[in-house]
Amino acid sequence: MFKRMKKAALPAGVLLASIGVLVLINATKPQPDVAATPPRPLSVYTALAQAGASQLRVETHGEVRATVSSDIVAQVAGRVVAVSPEFIEGGKFAPGEALLTIDDTDYRAAVNEAEARLAAAKVDLEQALADADVARKQLAGTKNPSPLALKKPQVARAQAAVEAAEANLSLANTNLSRTRISMPYEGRVAATSVDLGQFVSPGRVVGSAFATDSVEIRLPITDRQLGALGVPIGYTAGPDAGLPVDLGAEVAGAYRRWRGVIKRIDATIDPATRVVYATATVDDPYAKGAAEGNMPLAVGLFVDAAIGGRTVSNAIQIPNEALRAGNRVFVLTGEGQLAIRDVELIYQNSSQAILASGISAGEQVIVSAIRNPIPGMRLEAIGSPSTAAGGNEPFAAD
């Protein structure tokens, strides 16, 4: 019995001794040095908040349209016997320049006939005056002679006949002049619908044209943008006044710019869109008002518009990218940490935000995107802080 117990205890003792040795080795082995490495700062782009007076800038879009656009209409009948080389789409014409000429043979004959009738009427008037003079002398001693005896009705009828003949001659000359179809302004031909040899009748539309002395752009303005402009609904500018507007569009592979003026704002609000429309005017868009490279502000072009509004003093300007949802701004503090500020927004467009309070001038606002922002997290600016976009800069495309 004792031998059996001795044999069983021997393996158990060996096992216990092995465990004890392992525990001793683990307890006495050297421990590695644990270095406390702080998390690496997140790199962000920043811009400096600026303080000062800032002109609010309203950004919108609109289509260029002609200030004066009209149909070219024939006023007399006849066959077209001459067509101006400029009577084509895009053709340029001066006031009174003949675009089409209608055969005037019948109208010249009408003028000659009217002149002959006028001459005959004048002769009849002279005869009536002479008869009246004779009758007045013959009846000099007669008491209360009648007007008929004095030939007064005959003279009046002869004078009326002369006036009618003069009116008929004037109409004949007018119809003759209408054989030369022209427009009363300088402009461009938009479309044509007749050609040489065709017969036209009075009232026939032979084409369309528009004036080039100025163009207009209808610009939709929201209620918030109207407040930024600082003018009321129904605003009308004086002769040499108005709100400046910068216009831009991509034309012929380059971004072109034009300058205009807001002359008026509609007196009603569009019930479908709930916006009010402002009308910008650009003078001489095909010559002096053209963009660089003599690029005109063509009718039908869709343009971006930036309107100079009211000026806000003592405002803070930051890039638009620095304004977060809920009117919050991320600020990089002097200790290299993230601070989240609630700000009071005055106005915002595509390039800048104007603030009334919440941050101070000179602070670094963060324009980079930050995932899961936590106040106090470590940050570092990449390079030198950039300058926030100023409110007085000229219009620039985004």
Among candidate residues 80, 73, 76, the one with its CA nearest the CA of residue 199 = 80
- For residue 331, pLDDT over 60 is answered with yes
pTM, to two decimals: 0.71
Please report the pLDDT score of residue 352 as a whole number.
87
pLDDT at 213 over 60: yes
What is the pLDDT of the chain when averaged over all its residues? 87
Task: Supply 145's token pair.
Answer: 């002679």
CB 288 within 8 A of CB 214: no
**How far apart are the C-alpha atoms of 65 and 264, rounded to whole Å?**
15
Q: Are 331 and 292 in contact (CB under 8 A)?
A: no
CA–CA dist 263, 282 (Å, integer): 10
For residue range 80-105, list pLDDT tens digits in order: 999 999 999 999 999 999 999 999 99
Among 19-23, 74-78, 130-134, 387-391, the minimum mean pLDDT is found in 387-391
* Nearest partner of 52 among 363, 361, 341, 395, judged by Cα: 361
pLDDT of residue 373: 87
Spatial separation of the C-alpha atoms in residues 341 and 353, rounded to whole Å: 15
- Render pLDDT for 49-82 as a digit per residue (tens, 0 to 9): 988 888 889 999 999 999 999 999 999 999 999 9
Handedness of CA 378, 380, 385, 391 (dihedral sign): negative
According to DSSP, the residues that pair with 257 across neighbouring strands are: 248
pLDDT in tens, 148-198: 877 889 889 999 999 999 999 999 999 999 999 999 999 999 999 999 999
Amino acid letter, residue 142: T
Does residue 18 have a pLDDT over 60? yes
- pLDDT above 80 for 321: yes
d(CA 226, CA 247): 18
- pLDDT tens digits for 240-290? 788 999 999 999 999 999 999 999 999 999 999 999 999 999 999 999 999
Q: Give the separation between CA 247 and CA 291, rounded to whole angstroms.
A: 10
Two tokens at 379?
């940050």
Residue 38 DSSP label = P
